[in-house]
Amino acid sequence: MRLLMEPEKTRQGADVLAGEERAEVAGRGVQIPVAGAVLAGELATPAEAWGMVLIADGSSMVARHPTHHRCVTKALRRRGLATARGDLLTEGEQHGGSRGGALPAEIDLLADRLRWARDWLTQQEEVRGLRVGYFGGGCGTAAALRVAARETEAFGAMVMLGGRPDLVGEVLGQVRTPTLFIAGAGDLLVIEWNRKALLELGGEKDLRVIPGASHMFEEIGVIEDVAELAHGWYRRHLMV
């Protein structure tokens, strides 16, 4: 287990990033059918994409804080990753008093929807055959870890941004997917949750703490640091 107070930037990593920046790619709206609901999302695929990242959250975080995940989404696309973005709750559920996965049954619902969404998205022609990663936070972290515990090859790699691994339960020890936690230095509770999760997770794992960042990563320049760390993790585990 490593707790680093700043992102590692090697010369090789910096050269890779500089050489792979690409023009912005427009996404297309998609309607993702899952059991009992239809989830609205967006799928965008840059030319010669080398992997796809499913960006999801168990609550309405994406809608309430558009810059939080959208900036990371755009940064990953510029680095050659296809992105599929959306919430795991419908708009009606978000406004209907859901606790966003606070209960075990709700985490199971989010995990099922994440799995169904992944299966549907990977059948789309423009991304078929690409290895799939996950990026998310909040209760979406717990959902993704639950899926990874059930299916060894559910994702090629996962990046959790300020997430809730404490909601996963005993199955956390069954996860073997390479998992990177990213937390803001000011978010002490999330750091503690992530450190405890690292002790239980199997497989490759790491925790990076970004100095000067708060829970919502709203500080200037922080999101780019998040994207760089995520890109490095995906490049290491999704490229074949």
Cβ atoms 231, 20 nearer than 8 A: no
Q: Is residue 67 part of a domain?
A: yes
Q: Is residue 25 part of a domain?
A: no
Among 87, 77, 84, 104, CA closest to 23: 77
Q: What is the mean pLDDT of residues 9-20?
A: 38
**Dihedral pair phi/psi, residue 133, rounded to 5°:** -115, 170
Q: Is residue 55 part of a domain?
A: yes
Percentage of the chain with pLDDT > 70?
81
Encode pLDDT of 46-102 as tens digits.
999 999 999 987 654 344 444 667 788 889 999 999 999 887 888 777 765 544 445
Enumerate the β-bridge partners of residue 163. 138
Question: What whole-number distance in Å separates Cα of residue 135 and Cα of residue 166?
Answer: 17
Q: What is the mean pLDDT of residues 192-219?
A: 91
Q: Is residue 94 part of a domain?
A: no
Identity of the residue numbered 53: V
Encode pLDDT of 152-164 as tens digits.
899 999 999 988 8
Q: Is residue 14 part of a domain?
A: no
Q: What is the mean pLDDT of residues 162-177?
A: 91
Task: Give the domain extent around 118.
Answer: 31-89+101-238
Q: Which region holds residue 81: left if phi is over 0, alpha if psi is between -120 and 50, else beta?
A: beta
What Å distances lie between residue 56 and 7, 86, 88, CA to CA? 23, 5, 7
Question: Is residue 9 over pLDDT 70?
Answer: no
Let me know if 223 is exposed, middle or buried by CB neighbors in 10 A (0-12, 13-18, 19+). Answer: buried
Question: Is residue 192 over pLDDT 90?
Answer: yes
Question: Is residue 137 over pLDDT 90?
Answer: no
CATH of residue 226's domain is: 3.40.50.1820
Q: In the structure, what pLDDT confidence band is assigned to residue 14 with cuts at 50, 70 and 90?
A: very low
Q: Is residue 51 part of a domain?
A: yes
- Looking at 74-83, 103-112, 128-137, which range is the least confident one? 103-112
Q: Is residue 22 part of a domain?
A: no
Q: Is residue 12 part of a domain?
A: no
This prediction has a pTM of 0.85
Identity of the residue numbered 42: E
| Domain count along the chain | 1
